[in-house]
Structure 1
Amino acid sequence: MLNTLRKIVQEVNAAKDLKTALGIIVQRVREAMGSQVCSVYLLDPETNRYVLMATEGLNKRAIGKVSMSPNEGLVGLVGSREEPLNLEHASEHPRYRYFAETGEERYASFLGAPIIHHRRVMGVLVIQQKERRQFDEGEEAFLVTMSAQLAGVIAHAEATGTIRGLGKQGKGIQEARFVGIPGAPGAAIGTAVVVLPPADLDVVPDKSIEDIDAELKRFDNALAAVRIDMQKLSTKLATQLRPEERALFDVYLMMLDDASLSKEVVRIIKSGHWAQGALSQVVKAHVHRFEMMDDAYLRERASDIRDIGRRLLAYLQEDHQQTLEYQDNTILVSEELTPAMLGEVPEGKLVGLVSVLGSGNSHVAILARAMGIPTVMGAVDLPYSKIDGIELIIDGYHGEVFTNPGPILRKQYTEVVEEERQLTQGLDSLRALPCETLDGQRMPLWVNTGLFADVARAQKRGAEGVGLYRTEVPFMSKERFPSEKEQLVIYREQLAAFHPQPVTMRTLDIGGDKALSYFPIKEQNPFLGWRGIRITLDHPEIFLVQVRAMLKASEGLNNLRILLPMISGLHELEESLHLIHRAWSEVRDEEIDIAMPPVGVMIEIPAAVYQIRELSRLVDFVSVGSNDLTQYLLAVDRNNPRVADLYDFFHPAVLQALRQVVDGAHAEGKSASICGEMAGDPVAAVLLLAMGFDSLSMNATNLPKVKWLLRQISSAKARELLEQVMQIDSPHIIRSTMNLALRNLGLGRVINPAASIQA
């Protein structure tokens, strides 16, 4: 059964559209189950009815015509109950409904399983039998497994169909929504410009061409070039390989001359497709065919065909380099965005970013937040190679992408974009004003930085210091560990740019989702693995060089603060402090006169919350890393789109932990700051002020919004709101309560403008 399942899923994955995919499903499942009927009913979101979309065994003329609501028929029952239904005599069930056009009166037994994708019921997979038959547990389990496996495939095929539209006249092009991870806040409306990786058959977009002869010539040239390459390789390796190993090159040459492969590509080109798309289509079909073969030797040939396909594609791309036309409102889309891709877009044209892979912590997401470009990361279900030139709306607050938006959604988001623009202009005047509540409580607002480009943005928005300088960013931009002198230059720039304001430098925090190409860490569970202080304590040579560079960079400026990440207990902290003092002694021995800077501990692991007083006694300050602390308290990987919606810093457990940290640090006479997304959320900032945090550190983009709101409220009112929400047990109700209270005070203008659309 597992082998059958694998083959069906592979075949369905290779289907060119939803109709073909459903046809394969009903045919193969019927064969595998040895039943007389297999049908797929899909839920139409517009009519909220289950529509027969494919069948083997029922009357094919009924496809698209037979439908039922969730409260009628056995199919409706399976969908509304969201569980399988196994009946030996279906017609005796009170929910049984007869449709004459399907000819189903002859079928007695019924087994149905819901097709569910990301909690959304998409449809029902049904098998039926003429005789009375109780399908056994194994058969039921197989159908449930089948429907679970196919849910993602159907969702993808459905979305691709929605994006492409159903006809050249544009009929049937519907709005579709894809969920990712918020990368950088804000909303944008624009045109998708897809950047493709080199020679990847899976991401070649569909493209029509006019000059068929020119396209055929390009394909011929690519075939000739790869033939020459193969012959050269064979000759070059003649002395190193045995004849049977050299035969592989003959196999490649035979494949290149294989009429079925090249003829199919030529046929598709002649139908008006560009060579790259035709090649991708044919190679993928051949690969899938070989992968499904039972013979191990033949299965291996799939990789040979894939290799040939990539080599041909590389020549076609070289001959036809991807020339991107950047529209006025470009939304850059790629499988994996890189900072270099951002740099290619002419100034003023980039309004948004979408990356299929990557997390809210990726280099690109950090850069996007600093630049104020709305971004969605981790949009794994988005068939991105199909959306070039299509209108998109991206919502960086909720991590959502809308393709082919309808007039209502477009109007709503146009208002959001305009609201944001006006708000940003209105907040510029706050730059020189202090962040002070109505009753006189000061709250220093600091920034998170990592790139030198962040400095100008931070100062333009009135930052009073740096609460978190990510030292890993310079490490990530090199191909080796930077030397002490190289680090000294970078750190000095930051310290001098903000002098005399404080600059908090976090020691190297790699691991998790922050990798260095020259220091790869492969782990099953990187977030609970070798990362942060654990790496640098295991490599004191890296830690000492970095701390020495920081200390030397602060000479004559004395505005350095050192922050230690991922501390889980006293032993790690004591060891770190010992190394810092050793580095300080070494620098003093070089006759560089530097005072010992304040050293702080990052509270981002639950263990540190429970030891807050003991840790506070050993350091000069504490700083909460709200992103990681929320992630670890809730056991939610915030970079995983499947569970990202469970990640919420308004969760009561997070609020209780934060209060405990502030109270514990203050009890030992130490200051407590907080950095991360929570500090930059204006609504959350009100609660953090009420808890007693001594400073907030955030992305420069969010700073004016936070300052505006805190200047409009009294600390007494903030404490009143905090006491109110601490009695609530749901993060959603806490957020709604805060939003409502602020709106009632006339302070709703900095609340996420897209929230009303979601509501």
Structure 2
Amino acid sequence: MLNTLRKIVQEVNAAKDLKAALTIIVQRVKETMGSQVCSVYLLDPESNRFVLMATDGLNKRAIGKVSMSPNEGLVGLVGSREEPLNLEHASEHPRYRYFAETGEERYASFLGAPIIHHRRVMGVLVVQQKERRQFDEGEEAFLVTMSAQLAGVIAHAEATGTIQGLGKQGKGIQEAKFVGVPGSPGVAVGPALVMLPPADLDVVPDKRIEDIEAELANFTQALEAVREDMRTLSAKLATQLRPEERALFDVYLMMLDDAAIGQEVSQIIRQGQWAQGALRQVVAEHVKGFELMDDAYLRERASDVKDLGRRLLAYLQQAHKEKLTYPDNTILVSEELTPAMLGEVPEGKLAGLVSVLGSGNSHVAILARAMGIPTVMGVVDLPYAKVDGIQLIVDGYHGEVFTNPSAELRRQYDEVVEEERQLNKGLDALRELPCETLDGQRMPLWVNTGLLADITRAQERGAEGVGLYRTEVPFMARERFPSEKEQLAIYREQLQAFHPLPVTMRTLDIGGDKALPYFPIKESNPFLGWRGIRITLDHPEIFLVQVRAMLKASEGLNNLRILLPMISGVQELEEALHLIHRAWGEVRDEGLDVVMPPVGVMIEVPAAVYQIRDLARQADFISVGSNDLTQYLLAVDRNNARVADLYDFLHPAVLHALKLVVEGSHAEGKPVSICGEMAGDPAAAMLLMAMGFDSLSMNATNLPKVKWLLRQISLGKARELLAQVLQIDNPQVIHSALHLALRNLGLGRMINPAANVQA
């Protein structure tokens, strides 16, 4: 069964469009199950009806014509109940509906399984039989497995059709929405530019070309370059390989010949397809042929064809890159964006970012927030290779991407972009003003930093200190651990830039989704694994060097605060404090007059919430890491787009935990701050102030918005709202109650300028 499934999914994945994919599904499922009919009905969201989209066994003329609502017929029953239906005699069921044009009156038995993708019912897969019989458990299990496997494939094919401006029945449609994870707030409207990973044939898009001769010349150059590579490799390995092994290189050269792959690619280029797309089509066809063969030796040849394809693609990409142009308002799209890709875009051209993989906490998202570029991460369903050159809207507030937006949607989002521009102009005037409520409560606003760009941005926004300097960022930008001297220079720059304001430096926090290329950590569950303080306590040589560098950098400035990440108990804190005092002693022995800085504990693990008084007793200050604390309290991987909607820092459990932390810290007479996305959300910041947090630390981009809101409200009113939301047991209701209260106070638009867009 697994082998059959693999082959069907492989074939469907290689289909050129949704229609071809559905045809393959009905043919292969009918063959495999030995049934007389297999049909696929897809739910049309516009009409909310299940439409017959493919069949093998019923009348083909009924395709696209026969449809039923969710409360109509057996197909509607399977779709609305979201579970399989297995009937020995379908026509005796009260929900049976007869469609004369399908010719299905001849079939007695019925087995249907819903096709569901990310909770959304997409359609129903049906098999039918002439004779009266109950399909057995094995057949039912196969159909359910098949529909679950195909749900993603159908969603992908449907999305691809949508992007190309065609609906299920080939009719033109206006727009489609793809949901990811908010990476950096803001809105961008502009043309997509797809950045492809090097030499990955699977993701090469189709592109029409005008100059066919130039494209043929590009391909001929690439062919010759790969032929030369093969000859060079063959000569280089002449002494190490037996003649029959060296003959493989001759096979490669033959494949590249004008009568083989070379000729087929050239033919497709002559039809107006660019060389990379033509190469992808030819290689995919050859690979599919080899992979479906029963002979193991011939199946292995598929990898040879792939290798040749990759080599050719690398040369074609290099030639294409040299001619690449960036349009105004470029929206950069990639499977996995890298900081290097951002660096290649000319200044002033980049408007937005979209990444299929990655999270709101990935290096690129941090960089995007520092640069103020609207970003959506983790858009797993976006067939990104197909969007090159088409208009996109990137909504970094909600984590949504719109393709082919209608004129009306574009107008609404253009208004948001203009409103943001005006808003930011108005917020600039707040820079020199204190963050003080209407009833005189001061709330220090600090920034999170990690990049050089953050320093200027923070100073422009009037930050009162650094609540979190991510020391792992300079570690991630290198190919080895930075030396003590290198670290000293980096830390000194931060401390001097903000002097005399405090700078809170978090010790190295790697692991989870933050990896160092030169210190790989392979774990099946990295977020519950070796990360943060756990790594540095296991490697005191890394920890001591870093702390010494921080201490030396603070000489004469005395504005350093050290923060320990991922502390889950008192023992870890005691061990870390012992090492910090040891490093301080070593630095003083070297003759440097450095004061012992305050040392704080980061509350990110639920265990630390319940030991808050014990930890606060030994620490100088407490800082909550709201991103990880929310993730661990709710058991939601915030980098996973599938469960992103469950990650919510306004969840009642998170709010009550934060209240416990403030009360426990203050009971021990220690100040408590909070950093992370929550502190930078104006509505949440108001609740945090009401709880009694002594300072808030956020991205510099969000600081003016938070300052503006806190200056428009009294502490008394904020406490009133906090008391109200602490009585609510549902995060969605908390969001609604907060936004309603702020709208009633005339403060709603500041929270999210894109809130009223009717998408």
Please give the TM-score of this superposition, normalised by the length of structure 2.
0.98
1:564 corresponds in structure 2 to 564
How far is 1:746 from its partner?
A: 1.5
Q: Matches of 1:526 and 1:627 in 2, distance apart?
A: 16
- Counterpart amino acid of residue 39 in structure 2: S
Q: Matches of 1:452 and 1:316 in 2, distance apart?
A: 35
1:360 corresponds in structure 2 to 360
- Counterpart amino acid of residue 520 in structure 1: P
How far is 1:444 from its partner?
A: 0.3
Q: Matches of 2:448 and 2:580 in 1, distance apart?
A: 23
How far is 1:493 from its partner?
A: 0.7
1:663 corresponds in structure 2 to 663
1:37 corresponds in structure 2 to 37
Q: Matches of 2:426 and 2:46 in 1, distance apart?
A: 41
How far is 1:292 from its partner?
A: 2.8
Unaligned runs of 5+ in 1: none
Q: Matches of 1:219 and 1:498 in 2, distance apart?
A: 54
Q: Does 1:252 align with 2:252?
A: yes
How far is 1:343 from its partner?
A: 2.4
How far is 1:105 from its partner?
A: 0.5
Q: Matches of 2:464 and 2:59 in 1, distance apart?
A: 73
After TM superposition, the structure 1 = structure 2 runs for residues 67-86 of structure 1, keeping only pairs within 5 Å, are 67-86=67-86
* Contact kept in structure 1, 2:178 and 2:402, CA below 8 Å: yes
Q: 1:200-259: per-residue Cα shift (whole Å, max 9, x none)?
A: 211222111223333334333333332232222122212111233223223322322384
Q: Matches of 2:643 and 2:537 in 1, distance apart?
A: 32
After TM superposition, the structure 1 = structure 2 runs for residues 683-702 of structure 1, keeping only pairs within 5 Å, are 683-702=683-702
* Contact kept in structure 2, 1:193 and 1:324, CA below 8 Å: no
After TM superposition, the structure 1 = structure 2 runs for residues 13-92 of structure 1, keeping only pairs within 5 Å, are 13-92=13-92
1:286 corresponds in structure 2 to 286
Higher deviation after alignment, 687-696 or 280-289: 280-289
- Counterpart amino acid of residue 713 in structure 1: I
How far is 1:461 from its partner?
A: 0.6
* Contact kept in structure 1, 2:254 and 2:260, CA below 8 Å: no
SS at match of 1:601: strand
How far is 1:174 from its partner?
A: 3.2
1:105 corresponds in structure 2 to 105
* Contact kept in structure 2, 1:234 and 1:249, CA below 8 Å: yes
1:550 corresponds in structure 2 to 550
Q: Matches of 2:378 and 2:238 in 1, distance apart?
A: 46
- Counterpart amino acid of residue 389 in structure 1: G
* Contact kept in structure 2, 1:638 and 1:644, CA below 8 Å: yes
Q: 1:651-680: per-residue Cα shift (whole Å, max 9, x none)?
A: 000001000000000000101000000000
Q: Matches of 1:737 and 1:324 in 2, distance apart?
A: 49
How far is 1:737 from its partner?
A: 0.3
1:211 corresponds in structure 2 to 211
Q: Matches of 2:532 and 2:320 in 1, distance apart?
A: 44
Q: 1:344-373: per-residue Cα shift (whole Å, max 9, x none)?
A: 223222211111122111111101111111
Q: Does 1:268 align with 2:281?
A: no
How far is 1:260 from its partner?
A: 5.0
How far is 1:261 from its partner?
A: 3.1
Work out the number of aligned pairs and report it.
757
SS at match of 2:467: strand
2:425 corresponds in structure 1 to 425
Distance 1:455 1:319, change over 3 A: closer
Q: Matches of 2:648 and 2:504 in 1, distance apart?
A: 26
SS at match of 2:256: helix
How far is 1:173 from its partner?
A: 4.2
How far is 1:541 from its partner?
A: 0.7
1:506 corresponds in structure 2 to 506
Q: Matches of 1:23 and 1:586 in 2, distance apart?
A: 73
2:620 corresponds in structure 1 to 620
Higher deviation after alignment, 306-315 or 12-21: 306-315
After TM superposition, the structure 1 = structure 2 runs for residues 450-461 of structure 1, keeping only pairs within 5 Å, are 450-461=450-461
Q: Matches of 1:293 and 1:572 in 2, distance apart?
A: 57
How far is 1:322 from its partner?
A: 5.3
* Contact kept in structure 2, 1:10 and 1:292, CA below 8 Å: no
1:114 corresponds in structure 2 to 114
How far is 1:406 from its partner?
A: 1.2
After TM superposition, the structure 1 = structure 2 runs for residues 588-737 of structure 1, keeping only pairs within 5 Å, are 588-737=588-737
Percent identity, aligned pairs only? Answer: 84
Q: Matches of 1:637 and 1:722 in 2, distance apart?
A: 27
SS at match of 1:342: helix
Q: Does 1:187 align with 2:187?
A: yes
- Counterpart amino acid of residue 434 in structure 1: P
Q: Matches of 1:4 and 1:758 in 2, distance apart?
A: 44
Unaligned runs of 5+ in 2: none
Q: Matches of 2:133 and 2:336 in 1, distance apart?
A: 50
Q: Matches of 1:756 and 1:317 in 2, distance apart?
A: 42
Higher deviation after alignment, 182-191 or 464-473: 182-191
Q: 1:90-141: per-residue Cα shift (whole Å, max 9, x none)?
A: 0011111111111110010111111111111111111111111201111111
Q: Matches of 1:321 and 1:707 in 2, distance apart?
A: 44
- Counterpart amino acid of residue 156 in structure 1: H
Q: Matches of 2:213 and 2:227 in 1, distance apart?
A: 21
1:136 corresponds in structure 2 to 136
Q: Matches of 1:324 and 1:262 in 2, distance apart?
A: 25
How far is 1:171 from its partner?
A: 6.3
SS at match of 1:299: helix
* Contact kept in structure 1, 2:165 and 2:404, CA below 8 Å: no
Q: Matches of 1:146 and 1:171 in 2, distance apart?
A: 28
- Counterpart amino acid of residue 196 in structure 1: L
* Contact kept in structure 1, 2:409 and 2:758, CA below 8 Å: no
- Counterpart amino acid of residue 633 in structure 2: L
Distance 1:322 1:134, change over 3 A: farther
How far is 1:180 from its partner?
A: 1.2
SS at match of 1:50: strand
- Counterpart amino acid of residue 180 in structure 2: G
SS at match of 1:679: helix
Please give the TM-score of this superposition, normalised by the length of structure 1.
0.98
Q: Matches of 1:210 and 1:464 in 2, distance apart?
A: 56
How far is 1:435 from its partner?
A: 0.8
1:123 corresponds in structure 2 to 123
Distance 1:704 1:199, change over 3 A: same
- Counterpart amino acid of residue 281 in structure 2: Q
- Counterpart amino acid of residue 668 in structure 1: E
1:515 corresponds in structure 2 to 515
Q: Does 1:234 align with 2:231?
A: no
How far is 1:407 from its partner?
A: 2.2
Q: 1:707-757: per-residue Cα shift (whole Å, max 9, x none)?
A: 111111111111111111111000010011011011111121311122233
SS at match of 2:224: helix
Q: Matches of 2:259 and 2:7 in 1, distance apart?
A: 26
Q: Matches of 1:402 and 1:594 in 2, distance apart?
A: 54
Distance 1:186 1:698, change over 3 A: same
* Contact kept in structure 1, 2:510 and 2:516, CA below 8 Å: yes
Q: Matches of 2:724 and 2:140 in 1, distance apart?
A: 50
Q: Matches of 1:690 and 1:609 in 2, distance apart?
A: 19
